[in-house]
């Protein structure tokens, strides 16, 4: 989406003026393009042990230039810190400072990724200290990066090593341009019995159609983020059913025709909405593998001025409709069904004038945690994506100066995300490569939200 401010400060006199005035100068983010390498330069892999060596072998199999020690005059495209065997805070210092030297020479759009264990109540204090300490370290590194670089982390569950397919799928996502607006985030990867592609020997585009043969339903798909999700799922190989209210029928049909999919005009607050979706998907396509709950509304008002209608409508559309649809999907006993729901950073940190919306989106994260075990038992899973400030046709109408001031609150990437950024995260979590990731919420917010 074109942005006059970013165009102005990105080159020439505007760039010089912005620097003199201390205005934010958002970098161009490295987003996914077919055929481009997964990393924009050599990969520095810090750490020792079995997982580090396994990962080095895999990355070499992806035809990446892997270095095990920092050297000067190298523009690193990625830095890995493998710390799953750390047991004391003293072990973090040396690789952290070595990473610091590498940060000075990162290529634009580089990635920093940590592999570690998540702290538990059963850990010895020294083990818990280094594990939690590494979380704070990576989140802080993310705020220091420039040039569109990002930093994220992966927690390795019991039995997960450097050859685990879901771990490698997550690494591919974080390394690639698909994670352009995911920054300062952690995902946990558990050992999974599900059948997933063996990505150890594939180069980046070797899995360019991870959803081939899948049938996906996307609600609220007539425009905006929903339409972007449908397009990315189609790009990744899925047959797409787009769903929206009858009033959006013309726009919905255009999206369906563009993607060679089918359109279903449906009010998702209907008691039988889940059954209607099942009947359409199974009747027209013979299966249902993926459901993306994107449809949602806002009815913003300060709580003191909130009326019953505004409260009830948001809860009904955003939360209660999904509960009913999920019950229908579980009752159908679909094997391998993966569900991704759209939460929001408003549901994590709250937002003035959005008590109803924040309650609904926080509630969805509770739904994810409570529903995911039942889906996992059937070889599937459920996760949430929580977007932050995403620049759409609606936000483009905000005055340029207002958006520029807002970017001062986004110290890492200094810009809003795009619908594509949300769609990339959704498609990854819907794919077999994410089979070891379940019951979690992934923020797509450019680390603009204070705290976790």
For residue 343, with 0-12 CB atoms within 10 Å meaning exposed, 13-18 middle and 19 or more buried, which class applies?
A: buried
Residue 417 DSSP class: B
Phi (first) and psi of residue 214, to 5 degrees: -90, 150
Helix (H, G, I), strand (E, B) or coil at 335: coil
Contact 153, 131 (CB under 8 A): no
Residue 89 DSSP class: G
Helix (H, G, I), strand (E, B) or coil at 268: coil
Greatest alpha-carbon pair distance for the chain in Å reads 63
Residue-by-residue DSSP string for 277-330 = HHHHHHHHHS---EEEE---------GGG--HHHHHHHHIIIIIHHHHHHHHHH
The Cα-based distances of 434 to 80, 218, 448 in angstroms read 20, 18, 25
Helix (H, G, I), strand (E, B) or coil at 46: strand
Contacts of 21 (CB under 8 A, 6+ apart): none
Residue 270 DSSP class: S
User: Could you tell me how far CA 254 lies from the centroid of its own chain?
Assistant: 27
CA-to-CA distance for 45 and 42, rounded, in angstroms?
10
Contacts of 296 (CB under 8 A, 6+ apart): 220, 317, 318, 342, 360, 361
How would you label 408-417 residue by residue, b for 16+ Cβ within 10 Å and e otherwise? eebebbbbbb
User: Which member of 5, 32, 181, 357 is catalytic?
Assistant: 357
Q: Which helix (H) or strand (E) holds 275?
A: helix 273-285
Can you state the percent helix, strand and coil of the chain, rounding each to 5? 45, 15, 40
Say how many Å lie between the first and final Cα of the chain, rounded. Answer: 28
Residue 357 annotated among the catalytic residues of the structure: yes
Give me the active site residues, please: 357
């Amino acid at each position: 989406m074109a942005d006059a401010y970013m165009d102005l400060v990105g080159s020439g006199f505007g760039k010089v003026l912005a620097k003199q005035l201390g205005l934010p100068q958002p970098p161009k983010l490295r987003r996914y393009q077919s055929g481009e390498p997964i990393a924009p330069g050599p990969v520095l892999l810090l750490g020792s042990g079995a997982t580090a060596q396994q990962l080095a072998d895999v990355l070499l199999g992806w035809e990446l230039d892997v270095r095990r020690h920092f050297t000067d005059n190298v523009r690193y495209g990625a830095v890995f810190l493998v710390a799953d065997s750390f047991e004391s805070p003293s072990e973090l210092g040396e690789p952290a400072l070595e990473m610091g030297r590498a940060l000075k020479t990162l290529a634009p759009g580089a990635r920093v990724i940590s592999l570690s264990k998540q702290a538990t109540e059963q850990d010895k204090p020294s083990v818990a200290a280094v594990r939690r300490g590494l979380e704070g370290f990576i989140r802080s590194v993310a705020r220091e990066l420039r040039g569109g670089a990002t930093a994220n982390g992966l927690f390795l569950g019991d039995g997960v090593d450097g050859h685990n397919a879901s771990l490698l799928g997550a690494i591919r996502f974080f390394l690639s341009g698909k994670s352009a607006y995911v920054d300062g985030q952690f995902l946990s990867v558990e050992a999974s019995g599900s059948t997933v592609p063996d990505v150890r020997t594939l180069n980046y585009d070797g899995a360019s159609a991870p959803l081939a043969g899948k049938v996906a339903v996307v609600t609220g798909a007539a425009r905006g983020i929903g339409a972007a999700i449908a397009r990315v799922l189609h790009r990744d190989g899925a047959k797409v059913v787009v769903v929206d209210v009858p009033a959006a029928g013309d726009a919905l049909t255009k999206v369906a025709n563009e993607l060679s999919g089918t359109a279903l005009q449906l009010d998702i607050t209907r008691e039988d909405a889940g059954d209607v979706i099942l009947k359409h998907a199974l009747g027209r396509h013979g299966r249902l593998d993926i459901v993306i709950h994107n449809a949602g509304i806002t009815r913003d008002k300060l709580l003191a001025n909130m009326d019953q209608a505004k409260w009830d409508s948001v809860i009904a559309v955003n939360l209660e409709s999904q509960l009913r649809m999920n019950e229908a999907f579980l009752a159908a006993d679909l094997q391998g069904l993966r569900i991704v729901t759209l939460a929001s950073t408003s549901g994590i940190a709250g937002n003035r004038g959005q008590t109803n919306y924040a309650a609904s989106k926080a509630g969805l994260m509770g739904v994810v945690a409570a529903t995911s075990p039942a889906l996992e038992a059937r070889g599937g899973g459920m996760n949430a994506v929580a977007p932050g400030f995403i620049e759409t046709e609606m936000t483009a109408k905000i005055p340029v100066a207002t958006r520029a001031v807002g970017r001062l609150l986004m110290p890492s990437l200094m810009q809003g995300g795009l619908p594509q950024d949300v769609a990339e995260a959704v498609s990854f979590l819907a794919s077999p490569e994410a089979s070891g990731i379940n019951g979690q919420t992934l923020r797509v917010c450019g680390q603009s939200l204070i705290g976790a």
